[in-house]
Amino acid sequence: MTAVPDPANPASRSAKGEATRQAIVDAALRLFREGGYDRTTMRSIADEAGVSLGNAYYYFGSKEHLVQAFYDQMQVLHAEAAEEVLARETGFAERLGGLLQAWVDVAEPYHAFAGKFFKNAAEPTSPLSPFSTESEPARRASIALFARVLDGSDLKLAPALRSELPELLWLLHMGVVLFWVHDRSEGQRRTRMLVGRVAPLVDKLARLTRLPVVRGVVNDLVDLLADLRKS
């Protein structure tokens, strides 16, 4: 029997299939930007991509799956954009600021679309939420990037906090994303200024955690995070 390719498995995709898949993603993003997420249908996406509706559903079971593909694509672009600063810098503030600035750079073409999309992503039960089960692969990839920021830096931390910090930095990143969504300044200038100021601030706060007077608060924070995961 001939094996049927699994479109969710990159290793099983042919070059033609991968090109078709990318064409569908690109078409969806164009329509999301132009008409909004809610008004875009799978049929309109298929028509825009020049494929049949059945072919569109072969690669993506729903619009939500298309958004997850966009999340995954953004993670790849973010990692590529940050590679230079992560290879060059060892200072924690420089590495963190560089990673956050790299995200603003790669996300800029989608800023006009972000406000319309955010209405859906902000719903706690939505599969489009960055906190959803469906978004877990992209979320883990992003947290891994923040782990790289920490691992290659000169920052010294208590082991318990060090293991928690990548996820805490990702939560900070989500705050930056929310600010960016609502930022109407030209080229998202205010977001770029926020990133430039917040990275050194986080660096200073992280270094303070090694002081004996702060260590008890850090331990309480780590315990709280552990309890939240259990509940």
- 143-188 per-position pLDDT tens digit: 999 999 999 999 999 888 999 999 999 999 999 999 999 999 999 9
Query: What band does 98 get if pLDDT is binned at 50, 70 and 90?
Result: very high
Q: What is the mean pLDDT of residues 30-52?
A: 90
What whole-number distance in Å separates Cα of residue 5 and Cα of residue 11?
A: 9
Please name each of the domains of the chain with its CATH number. 11-59 (1.10.10.60), 63-230 (1.10.357.10)
Give the mean pLDDT of 118-136: 88
The per-residue pLDDT for range 66-75, each reduced to its tens digit, is 988 888 989 9
Burial of residue 165, with CB atoms counted within 10 A of its CB: 0-12 exposed, 13-18 middle, 19 or more buried: buried
Of 33, 194, 4, nearest in space to 111 by CA: 33
What is the mean pLDDT of the segment spanning 107-122?
A: 83
The answer for residues whose C-beta is within 8 angstroms of residue 175's C-beta and 6 or more apart is none
Give dist(CA 53, CA 57) in Å, integer: 6
| Position 11 pLDDT exceeds 60 | no
Residue type, 98: G
**Element holding 30 (H helix, E strand):** helix 15-35
Q: What is the mean pLDDT of residues 187-197?
A: 96
- What is the secondary structure of 101-112 as a DSSP string? HHHHHHHGGGHH
- Write down the mean pLDDT value for the chain: 89
Query: Does the structure show a pLDDT above 60 at 138?
Result: yes
Half-sphere exposure of 77 (CA within 13 A, CB side): 15
Nearest-angstrom CA–CA distance, 215 and 60: 48
DSSP summary character for residue 10 = G
Higher pLDDT, 128 or 8: 128
pLDDT score at 222: 87
Please check whether residue 45 is in contact with residue 27, taking contact to mean a CB–CB distance below 8 angstroms. yes
Rg of the chain taking only CA atoms, in angstroms: 20
Q: How far apart are CA 154 and CA 58, in angstroms?
A: 47
Tens of pLDDT, residues 212-229: 888 888 888 888 988 888
If pLDDT is split at 50, 70 and 90, which confidence band does 13 have?
low
Q: Poorest-confidence range of 24-38, 79-93, 109-123, 182-196?
A: 109-123
Q: Stretch 79-108: mean pLDDT, rounded? A: 96
Instruction: State how far the alpha carbon of 55 is from the alpha carbons of 13, 60, 73, in Å.
Output: 14, 9, 20
Closest CA relative to residue 137, chosen from 91, 87, 222, 68: 68
Buried b (16+ CB within 10 A) or exposed e, 98-118: bbbbbbbebbeeebebbebbb
